[in-house]
Structure 1
Amino acid sequence: MPPQKDTVYFRDGSRRIDFILAYDDELHATNTVKDRTKRSEYQARLLKMGLELEIEPKESPPTKKKETELGDVDQESVSGRTAFVKVHAPWEPLSTYAEILHVQVPLGESDLGQVSRSDCGPLGCLGKLFRLKPGAVPEQPDYFTAPFRRSQQDVYPITDRDALIPPAVRSQIVHHMLLYCHVSQDSETTFNLNRMISNGCYTAAYPLHDGEYEHRPERSEKRSDRKTLWREWARAGRSFKEQPLDLVRSYFGEQVGLYFAWLGFYTKMLSIAAVVGLVCFFVGAFNKDNNITSEEICNSSSEILVMCPQCDKRCTFWRLNETCDSAQSSSIYENPATVFFTLFMGLWATVFLEIWRRYQTALAFRWDLTEEEGDPIRPEYEARCTSKKLNIVTMEEEPHVPRRTLRLRYCFSGVMVLFWILLIIAGILGVVVYRLSVFSCLSSSMPKRVSEIKVIGWLLTPDMVASITASILNIVVIVLLNIGYDKMAIILTDLEMPRTQREYEYRLTFKKFLFQFVNYYSSCFYIAFLKGKFVGYPGDYAYFGKWRIEECPPAGCLFELTSQLTAVMGMKQIIGNVQEVIVPWFSSWLAKCRAKKGPQNVHTRWEQDMGLQLQSSLGLFDEYLEMVIQFGFVTLFVASFPLAPLLALLNNIVEVRVDAWKFVTKMRRPVVSRASGIGAWADILGIVATLSVMTNACIVAFTSDIIPRLLHHYGYSAGHGEGSPTVHRYTDNSLSIFNISNLQERSRPDNLPPWFDPTIHRVCRYRGYRYPPDHPQAYSVTTLYWHILAAKLAFVIVVEHLIFFTKAFIAHVIPDTPSHVRACARRERFIVREILRRAELRRLRNSPPSSVSPMTADVGLLHRPPHTDI
C-alpha cells in the first residue's frame, strides 16, 4: 500500500518527519560501492545518535530489516528514481541538542501587551486599508522565554512537547545533528553531510513543507501555515497589505523573517522619498519652458553661435540651437528643487538607517534574536585543516591553519579581486571607445533630416544614439562579468578558509558587493565625474589613443547621466524580477514532468518538495545584494534623477510578493537559521549612505550647471542693465571663442555644412572659460574659471559638513534601542529570574507540587509589584 500522499509523518502516523535525505536509487543510477558504504555508515551513526530513520519505499522483508535500516534499499522508490530517508528525532536527543543550541522556549505568558509587536514599528500604522482582516492570520501567543533546560521541564507552561519545540525548530536541531555527524573514510579524510551532497552520495537534504498551499481544507480541518501564507501574503492580491511577519518568522525562521521585515520597512520609507522626488520632478517639468538657459540655447539668435567640431575629421561645425531638446530635458533636473532633494535624500538615508536599527531592536526583543554564545566552526574548515592547535579557552585541540599559509591565501585572493576590478575598468574603457567610435561615425553619416523628426528626433541625434547603445552594451558587459565573478568570489572565499560561518558570510559579502559596486556604478561615475572634464580646447585636445576624449554638450552631461542611470537601474530590476519568476517556475515545472514518468505516479509530500527549487547555499545573499545595489542607485546619483525612489518603490512592491510567492510555492522550505540582525549588510548600507552625500554634492557642483548659473546670476549679472539681477547671456558667457584658422590639421572637418561660409564664420565656440584669441593670455583659463571652481568646492564642503553634522545629530538624538524595549527587556529578565528561582526552591525543598500550578502562581507574580529596580 503506497504511503499517504500529503503526509508529514512516518507510516505509523505519529512520528513527525523532521528531515528528508534523498539519493539516487541503485536500480536507476550508477552508485559506487564506496557511496553505498558511506551512506550505510553515516545512517548507522545517525541511529547511534538517537535519531529514527524510515526508508521509502517500504522496508524489505524481515531478513533484510537491519540492512534496510542502514540504507541498503533494493526496491523502487515511489517515483521510481529516488530513494528517501525520513528522519525523526525522539524527545531524548531532541531535548539534549535543544539545550546545547540554547533554543528559546516559553516560560510564562507575557504581560507586556502589544508594545513590542513587529507590525507597530515606524510607518506601521498607515490605516485600516492596509491591514489584514481580523482572524486571517492566527494570532501568535506572546511568552516570556528562556533557553531550554532539560532539568526545568516541569516549569514550562506548555506540556505538549510538539508545541514546546515547534516543527521549524525541530528541523533546525535535526539539521545540526546531521551536519555534525561525520564519516571517516581513512585516517585523514572525513565526510559530513555537505561533502556527501557535493560528492553525489546524497542528492538532497531538506525539511518538509506542512502541506499543499493550494489545497482547500475542510471546515473541520485546520488550515496549514503554508496555506495561510499563500492566501494572506504571497498572492498578488495582497500586494498592498501588511505582511504577517510573525507567521513568516515562525514558519521560515528568523533570517527569512528579518529579510522581509527589512524589505517591507525599506519599501515604506521609499514611499516618502518617492513622493518628495515626484514633487521635485514636477517642479522642474512645469518650469522647463521658463528656464532661461534652455531658452537661450533654443532661441533663434543662437544660430549665429557656431560650435567647434566634437570629433576629428568626421565631425563638422554645428549650431548651438541643435541641442535645444537635450537642453530642455536637462533643465528638468537642473533647478533649485534638485539641490533641495539632494539635501533631503542625504538626511533620508540617515533617518532610514537609524529608525531601522530601532525597529530591528524591537523585532530582536519580540523574536528573541540574541547573539549566539559562540559561533561554531564550519565543518568544511575542520575537514580541510591538516594541523591542530590548543585552544587556551576550552583547553582542547582544534583545527588550525598557520598564519603564513593564511597570509599567502589572502594575498592571492586580493590580487584576484583586484584583477577582476581592473577587468571591469577595461570593460568600461571599451564601452567608452565604442561610444567615441559610434559618435564619430554617425556624425558624418546620419542625415540631418533624421534628427529633425518630431517627437523622437532628439533621440536620433548622434550623441543620444551613441549614449543609448553604449548603455545597452554596458548592461551586457555587467551581466557577463557577474556570471564569472559570482563563481570566482565563492572560490576565493573558500580559498581563504574562514573559520566560522559568520566570518565566511562577511568575507563573501564584502567581496561580492565591492565587485558589484564597481560593476554597476562605474559607468555612472565616469559620466558624472570624468566625461568632459579633461577635454582640453580646440587648439590642444586631449586624446585616448587615437580617439579624442569626448566632451559634454553645451547643456552639460547631467541628462546623459540620467539616461544611463535609468537604463541600468530599470533593466536590472526588470531582468531580476523576470529571472526570479521564470527560473523557479520552470524548475518546478520540469520536476513535475520528470515525476510523472514514475511507475506509480504518486506524489508524496517529500517528492513534491524534492521537485521544488533548492535555496542557494548562501541563503538570502542574492536578495539582499539586489536590494542594496538598488539602494545605491536611489541614493548615490539621486541628484540627477529624482524619480529613482519612485522606480524603486514600484519595483519593491512587486519584489515583496514575488519573493513571498517564490518562498511559499516554488522553493523548498529552508532550514531555520537564527540571526540577531541583517549582518554585514547594515555596515554596507551605512557606507553607501555616507558616500551618497559626497557623490550628490559633487554631481550638483561639478556635473550640473547650477553653481555657475547662480554665480553668474548673483555675482556677474548684478548691477548690469536695468532691473534685478538676471541670468541672461549666461550661455554666451559660458562658451569660449576659438579662431578657426588655429584649428589643427588633424581636427579640421572633411566636410562643411551647407550654411557654413568661411568668409563669415571665422570663429567657433566651445564649452569652457578661456580667454579669446585676441587676448594676451589667449586660450588660458580665465579668472572666472577659478571663481567658479572655488564656488563649487565651497558648495561641496558646506553641503557635506551640513549633512554630516545633521546626520550625527540625528544619530545621537535617536537611540538604537527604544526606551520601552529596554524597559520590557528588564521586565522579562526579572520575571524569568523569579520563575526559575521559585522552581529551584521547590526542588530544593523536595516538596510535592502545590494545588496551584506553576503557571498560575507565576501569573500572580507577574502582577505583583517587583522588589527590584527594573
Structure 2
Amino acid sequence: MALVIACMVAVIVYRLSVFATFASFMESEASLKHVKSFLTPQITTSLSGSCLNFMVILILNFFYEKISAWITKMEIPRTYQEYESSLTLKMFLFQFVNFYSSCFYVAFFKGKFVGYPGKYTYLFNVWRSEECDPGGCLIELTTQLTIIMTGKQIFGNVKEAIYPLVLNWWRRRKARTNSEKLYSRWEQDHDLETFGSLGLFYEYLETVIQFGFVTLFVASFPLAPLLALLNNIIEIRVDAWKLTTQYRRPVAAKAHSIGVWQDILYGMAVLSVATNAFIVAFTSDIIPRLVYYYAYSTDDTEPMKGYVNNSLSTFLIADFPNHTVPSEKRDFTTCRYRDYRYPPDHDQKYFHNMQYWHVLAAKMTFIIVMEHVVFLVKFLLAWMIPDVPKDVLERIKREKLMTIKILHDFELNKLKENLRTNYGEFSKQVMIEENKV
C-alpha cells in the first residue's frame, strides 16, 4: 500500500511538472498556434501520465505476485484449499490497489482540494495541487481507464501467447533435432509447458480485474463492456490455442464452487454501485446543472442561460499575498475561478456560500437515492428470477422423494425378511420342544 502511494505521488509530481513545462512552452511559442487547438497541456499531461502510470502498474504487479506468494507461505496453511484461498485474497487486494488506485484518485480526489486564489493547496510546498478541466475530471478518468484497461488486455494476451511459445522453442532447441524418429511425439508432448496447479488462478484473477474495470467506473467509461467483450472473444481463441498446442494436458480436478472468488465478485458488485453514484455526483457536472436548473435559474425560456457565470466566483487581485502577486501589471482588478464562494465585498468573503451547500446536499441525496433504487431493483430481480428454476426445483424434490421411498421400501423388505427368519426359527424351537414332551 505504501509503495503504491509513493508511486502515485511520483506520477502526480510528474504530471504537475509536465503540465507546467508544456503550458509555458506552448505559451511562449507562437508557431504552435494550430497545435494548441487539439493538443492542449491537459491532454498531453493526461496521456503521458496515464502511459507512465500503466508501466508502473506492470512493474509493481510483478513484485506483488512474489510478495503475495511469500506471505502466504509464511502463514503455513494446513491444506491446499486454505493456501489457495489466502493467496487469492492477498493477490486480489494487491491487484485492486495497484490497478484502481490511480482511477480512484482521478475520480474522487483530483481537483477536490485545490483551495482558491491566494490560498491554494501546495504539494510539498512546491507544486500546486492538480485541478480538473473546466468541464470536470470525467474526460481524464475516461482516458486513464482506456489506457490501463486496453493496455492490460493487450499485454495479457501477448504474454499468454508468447511466454509458453518461447519456453517450448527453447526446449526443442536443446533437443538439437525435431526428427520424429530421434525425438518421439510423446517426448515432445512431455517437454511442453506444464499448466500448473495455479493455472486457473491467474485466469480467474484476470477476469475479476476486468470485471472491476467494467463495473466500478462504467458511468465514466460506457465503452468498457464492449472492450471487455472483444477481449474475451480474442482470449478464448488464445487460450484454446495455448492449451491444445503449448501446454501438457491439464489434470482434471473436482471443485465444489469457485471458492472465495464468489465473495470477491459480490463485494465488487456492491462497491460498483457506490463508485458509480459518486462518479455521477462528484466527478461529472450533472448535479450542479440540475440544481441551477430547478433552484437558481431566472430565465424561463432558456433555463440554463447564465449557468457558467453562476458557477464562477470572484476574487480581488489586491487580496493576493505579497509573494504570489503577479509581477506584470494587469488591466483588470478581479479574476474568476470555479467554485461557490462569497465575493470580496461580502462579510464572509471567500467562504462557501449557500449554493455550495445546496449542491453538496443534492449530491449526497442523489447518491443515497441511487444506491437504494439499484439495490431495490437487484433484490426484486433476485426474487423474480430465482437461482434454481421452478421445474428444476420440482425435479430435485421428486428425486428426493423417490430416494426416500426406495430407502423406505428397502428397509421394509429387510424387516419382513428378518421377521420371516425369526418366525421360522421360533417354529422349529416349538416343534423340538413338543417332540421332547
Matched, 1:671 2:251: yes
Counterpart of 1:765 in structure 2 is 336
Aligned mate of 2:372, from 801, 805, 812: 801
Counterpart of 2:307 in structure 1 is 730
**Structure 1 residues 740, 589: closer, same or farther in 2, change over 3 A?**
same
**Structure 1 residues 439, 668: closer, same or farther in 2, change over 3 A?**
same
In 2, Cα distance between equivalents of 1:658 and 1:586: 15
Indicate the structure with greater helix content.
Answer: 2
Q: How does 1:626-775 map to 2 (within 5 A)?
A: 626-717=206-297, 720-721=298-299, 723-724=300-301, 726-748=303-325, 758-759=330-331, 761-775=332-346
The alignment's TM-score, normalised by the length of structure 1, stands at 0.45
Counterpart of 2:56 in structure 1 is 477
Q: How does 1:318-397 map to 2 (within 5 A)?
A: none
In 2, Cα distance between equivalents of 1:459 and 1:836: 79
In 2, Cα distance between equivalents of 1:685 and 1:613: 30
Counterpart of 1:543 in structure 2 is 122
Structure 2 letter corresponding to 1:645: P
RMSD (CA atoms): 2.6
Gaps of 5+ in 2: 418-437
SS of corresponding position for 1:736: strand
Offset of residue 547 of structure 1: 1.2
Bigger RCO of structures 1 and 2 (CA < 8 A, at least 6 apart): 1
Counterpart of 1:512 in structure 2 is 91
How many aligned positions are there?
A: 413
In 1, Cα distance between equivalents of 2:15 and 2:403: 68
In 2, Cα distance between equivalents of 1:677 and 1:607: 35
SS of corresponding position for 2:110: coil
**Structure 1 residues 560, 450: closer, same or farther in 2, change over 3 A?**
farther
Counterpart of 1:591 in structure 2 is 171
SS of corresponding position for 2:130: coil
SS of corresponding position for 1:799: helix
Contact 1:459 1:465 in 2 (8 A): no
The alignment's TM-score, normalised by the length of structure 2, stands at 0.88
Contact 2:344 2:350 in 1 (8 A): yes
**Structure 1 residues 593, 813: closer, same or farther in 2, change over 3 A?**
same
In 1, Cα distance between equivalents of 2:97 and 2:32: 35
Counterpart of 1:85 in structure 2 is none
In 1, Cα distance between equivalents of 2:153 and 2:336: 41
Q: How does 1:68-83 map to 2 (within 5 A)?
A: none
Structure 2 letter corresponding to 1:811: A
CA offsets 1:73-111 (integer angstroms, 9 cap, x no match): xxxxxxxxxxxxxxxxxxxxxxxxxxxxxxxxxxxxxxx
Structure 1 letter corresponding to 2:116: Y
Offset of residue 478 of structure 1: 0.7
Offset of residue 839 of structure 1: 10
Counterpart of 2:34 in structure 1 is 453
Contact 1:531 1:552 in 2 (8 A): yes
Counterpart of 2:425 in structure 1 is none
Contact 1:435 1:467 in 2 (8 A): yes
Aligned mate of 2:159, from 579, 583, 595: 579
Structure 2 letter corresponding to 1:698: F
In 2, Cα distance between equivalents of 1:596 and 1:835: 65
SS of corresponding position for 2:265: helix
**Structure 1 residues 738, 821: closer, same or farther in 2, change over 3 A?**
same
**Structure 1 residues 428, 601: closer, same or farther in 2, change over 3 A?**
farther
Structure 2 letter corresponding to 1:653: I
Offset of residue 598 of structure 1: 8.2
Structure 1 letter corresponding to 2:34: I
Contact 1:736 1:768 in 2 (8 A): yes
In 2, Cα distance between equivalents of 1:450 and 1:489: 52
Offset of residue 437 of structure 1: 1.3
Gaps of 5+ in 1: 1-420, 846-870
Aligned mate of 1:462, from 35, 38, 41: 41
SS of corresponding position for 1:771: coil
In 2, Cα distance between equivalents of 1:833 and 1:669: 41
Matched, 1:561 2:141: yes
In 1, Cα distance between equivalents of 2:366 and 2:397: 48
Single out whichever of 421-430 and 610-619 deviates more from structure 2: 610-619
Offset of residue 582 of structure 1: 1.2
In 2, Cα distance between equivalents of 1:580 and 1:449: 48
Offset of residue 544 of structure 1: 1.4
CA offsets 1:741-791 (integer angstroms, 9 cap, x no match): 3223444456x6xxxx712x2222111111122222211111110110011
Counterpart of 1:603 in structure 2 is 183
Structure 2 letter corresponding to 1:777: Q
Counterpart of 1:496 in structure 2 is 75
Matched, 1:426 2:3: no
Structure 1 letter corresponding to 2:312: L
In 2, Cα distance between equivalents of 1:608 and 1:695: 50
Contact 1:698 1:796 in 2 (8 A): yes
In 2, Cα distance between equivalents of 1:663 and 1:600: 22
In 1, Cα distance between equivalents of 2:162 and 2:362: 52
Counterpart of 1:130 in structure 2 is none
In 2, Cα distance between equivalents of 1:693 and 1:590: 48
In 2, Cα distance between equivalents of 1:651 and 1:804: 29
Matched, 1:523 2:69: no
Counterpart of 1:787 in structure 2 is 358
SS of corresponding position for 2:219: helix
**Structure 1 residues 671, 551: closer, same or farther in 2, change over 3 A?**
same
Instruction: Provide the identity percentage.
Output: 53
Structure 2 letter corresponding to 1:737: T
Offset of residue 828 of structure 1: 4.8
CA offsets 1:726-752 (integer angstroms, 9 cap, x no match): 1112111111111223223444456x6
**Structure 1 residues 450, 615: closer, same or farther in 2, change over 3 A?**
farther
**Structure 1 residues 441, 745: closer, same or farther in 2, change over 3 A?**
farther
Contact 1:707 1:788 in 2 (8 A): yes
SS of corresponding position for 1:587: helix
In 2, Cα distance between equivalents of 1:435 and 1:650: 31
In 2, Cα distance between equivalents of 1:543 and 1:453: 33
**Structure 1 residues 645, 458: closer, same or farther in 2, change over 3 A?**
farther
CA offsets 1:263-295 (integer angstroms, 9 cap, x no match): xxxxxxxxxxxxxxxxxxxxxxxxxxxxxxxxx
Offset of residue 427 of structure 1: 0.9
Offset of residue 526 of structure 1: 0.4
Contact 1:451 1:458 in 2 (8 A): no
Contact 1:558 1:704 in 2 (8 A): yes
Counterpart of 1:137 in structure 2 is none
Structure 1 letter corresponding to 2:388: T
Contact 1:701 1:707 in 2 (8 A): yes
In 2, Cα distance between equivalents of 1:803 and 1:833: 43
**Structure 1 residues 669, 827: closer, same or farther in 2, change over 3 A?**
farther
